[in-house]
Amino acid sequence: RKEVEQDPGPFNVPEGATVAFNCTYSNSASQSFFWYRQDCRKEPKLLMSVYSSGNEDGRFTAQLNRASQYISLLIRDSKLSDSATYLCVVNNRAAYKYIFGTGTRLKVLA
């Protein structure tokens, strides 16, 4: 079993739709959680950190469920520019270890 698992997609959604991704992690000692966005042939860029209480940044909402060991990303009012691959990243700070999921691909259709 992979340490961090994501549905690879693609998720094809129309503009304006709401879409949600989940990511599960296996190490209960994980301490920090992130969502990164990666455009084709580009570097990953931080979208948002994920806090225990959940957090929101504009159209994006991230949630953490420690009991079930998953994090989620909700995108409201999808834009064409949201088309990208979304990477789930989990960190166990004690080991300097960032574990990356393989990503979920989103295509927002006009």
Partner 1 sequence: DAGITQSPRHKVTETGTPVTLRCHQTENHRYMYWYRQDPGHGLRLIHYSYGVKDTDKGEVSDGYSVSRSKTEDFLLTLESATSSQTSVYFCAISESRTAAKNIQYFGAGTRLSVL
* Contact with partner 1 (CB under 8 A) among 13, 17, 74, 99: 99
Stretch that binds partner 1, among 9-17, 30-38, 58-66, 73-81 (CB under 8 A): 30-38
Nearest CA to 78 out of 49, 41, 110 is that of: 110
For residues 82-103, one letter each, b for 16 or more C-beta atoms within 10 angstroms of the residue's C-beta and e for the rest, the string is bbbbbbbbbbbeeeeeebbbeb
User: How many amino acids of this chain bind partner 1 (CB under 8 A)?
Assistant: 22
Q: Which residue has the tokens 């953490």?
A: 64
Least Å distance between CB 59 and partner 1?
21
What residues line the site for partner 1 (CB under 8 A)? 4, 31-32, 34, 42-46, 49, 87, 89, 91, 93, 96-103
